[in-house]
Structure 1
Amino acid sequence: MKLIYKGKFDGNYDNLPYREHKPNYVKFKEASNATELAIKANIVAIILLILLLVIAFKQGNYLNNWGILLSLLSLFPHEFLHAICFKEEVYLYTLLKKGILFVVGNEDMSKTRFIIMSLLPNIVFGIGPYIIGLIIKNNVLTTLGIFATSMGCGDFINVYNAITQMPKGTRTYLHKFNSYWYMPN
C-alpha cells in the first residue's frame, strides 16, 4: 500500500483517481455525491448515536470530554486503517467543511475484503472501545466508541450496499466517487 495525501477535495469528482471500467460492470445504488452521502450518513449517525447513548446510560456509563476528543483525533487514523486494506496506491482526501475524510483506491476487491476494509476502523475505534468501555465501566472508552461508531456511518452504508447488491463471487472497485461491481471471468 502506498498512501498519497491529496489534501482538500475540490468538489470535482472528475479529479478523483479512476481506471477503466470492467466489462459488464454494475454501479452500486448509492449516493451520487459527497453532499448526498453526508446527509444519509448523518441521518444514520444520529439514530446510531441515540441508540448507543441510551444503552450506555442504562449501563451507568456517561459521556466524557476525553472520549469525545479521542474520537476527533481518530479521524485520520480511521482513514489510515481503510488505506492499509489496499495493496496498491490509495489517495486520502479531506472535505472538513462537510465533516468528510475519505480514501480512494482503484484496485479490485472481493466482497469480503471490501466489507473488512469498510468495517476495520469502526471496529478498532468504535465498536471495540464501546463494548470494552461498557464491560469495564470506563466512560472514556464508551464515549470514544459512541462517537467513533457514529462518525463511521458512511462505511456502514457501504457495507449495507455490498451485502445487498453484490452477488456471490463478484468483485468491487472504486471509480471516482462511486463503487461498482462485476463478475470476473
Structure 2
Amino acid sequence: MKIVWKGKFDGNVENLPHGEHKPGAVKFKEIDDPKKLGLFLNLACIPVFVIIFAMLLFRTGIESMGQMGFLAGCVLSLVSLVPHEFLHAICFREEAQIYTNFKNGMLFVVGTEDMSKSRFIFMSMLPNLVFGFLPFLLCMIFPSLTVLGALGALSIGMGIGDYYNVFHALTQMPKGARTYLYGFNSWWYLPEDQRNKT
C-alpha cells in the first residue's frame, strides 16, 4: 500500500489516474462532472444534517449547542476531513492518491486497483463509521458526550459522497462483480469465472 498526497485537484478529469479497462466493464450510472456532483452532494447532505441534528438536539437538549463540547465537536469534524480520506486510502492494497477540491466542497481518493463489492462498500463506509456513526451512537447512549455527538452528526452529513457510492454499488453491481475507479468514475465488471456462470 502506498498513499500519495496529490493536493488540489485542477478540475481536469484527464489528469486523474487511469488504469486499464477490464473486458466488459460498465460505467456506474452516476454524475460525471465534478462541479455538478459537488453541487448535488452539497444539496443532498442538507436533509441528512437536518435529521441527524434534530436527533442530536432531541437527545442532548437545545442548550447543548452553546456548550464548549458541542463547539469542540464541530471543530473536530473539520479536522477529521483529511484523516477521513486516509481511512479510505488504507483500504487500497496498491497506490491511492488523495485530492482536495474545496471549491466544490469535496476531498476524494483515487486508486486504480479493482476490488470486490463488499471491500468497496467497506472502504467507502469505514471513515463514516469511525468519525460519524460510532461517536454519534455513543452520544445517543451517553447524552453528556456532546463533543462526540457534534463530531458524529457533522461527519455523518459530510459522508454523503460515500453513501452515494455505496448506493450505486448496491443497486448496479451484480453478484460476483468487481469495481474499480477510472479517472473520476467507478466501473464494474464480471470476472471471467463469474461470466461463465451466467
Residue 155 of structure 2: which of 148, 171, 174 is its match? 148
- Show structure 1 runs of 4+ deviating over 3 A: none
Give, in whole Å, the separation in 1 of the partners of 2:9 and 2:134.
Answer: 30
Kindly state the Cα deviation for residue 19 of structure 1 after the two structures are TM-superposed: 1.1
Residue equivalent to 1:23: 23
Q: d(CA) in 2 for partners of 1:73 and 1:34?
A: 23
> What pairs with 1:47-126 in structure 2 (closer than 5 Å)?
47-61=47-61, 62-63=64-65, 64-126=70-132
Q: How many Å separate the matches in 2 of 1:173 and 1:157?
A: 15
Shift of 1:38: 1.2
Q: TM-score, normalised by structure 1?
A: 0.97
> What do the CA deviations read for 1:8-49 (whole angstroms, capped 9, x no partner)?
100000000011110001000011021122122112211110
Whole-Å Cα distance in 2 between the matches of residues 96 and 38 of structure 1?
10
Check the 8 A contact 2:60/2:146 in 1, yes or no: no
> Aligned equivalents of 2:180 and 2:41: distance in 1?
21
Structure 2 gap ranges (5+): 193-198
TM-score w.r.t. the length of structure 2 is: 0.91
Please say if residues 42 and 105 of structure 2, whose CA atoms lie closer than 8 Å, have aligned partners that are also in contact.
no
Structure 1 Cα separation of the partners of residues 130 and 74 of structure 2: 16
Corresponding residue of 1:162: 169
The DSSP-based 3-state class of the residue aligned with 2:60 is coil
Cα separation, 1, equivalents of 2:115 and 2:33:
22
RMSD: 0.9
Larger radius of gyration: 2
In structure 1, runs of 5+ residues without a counterpart are: none
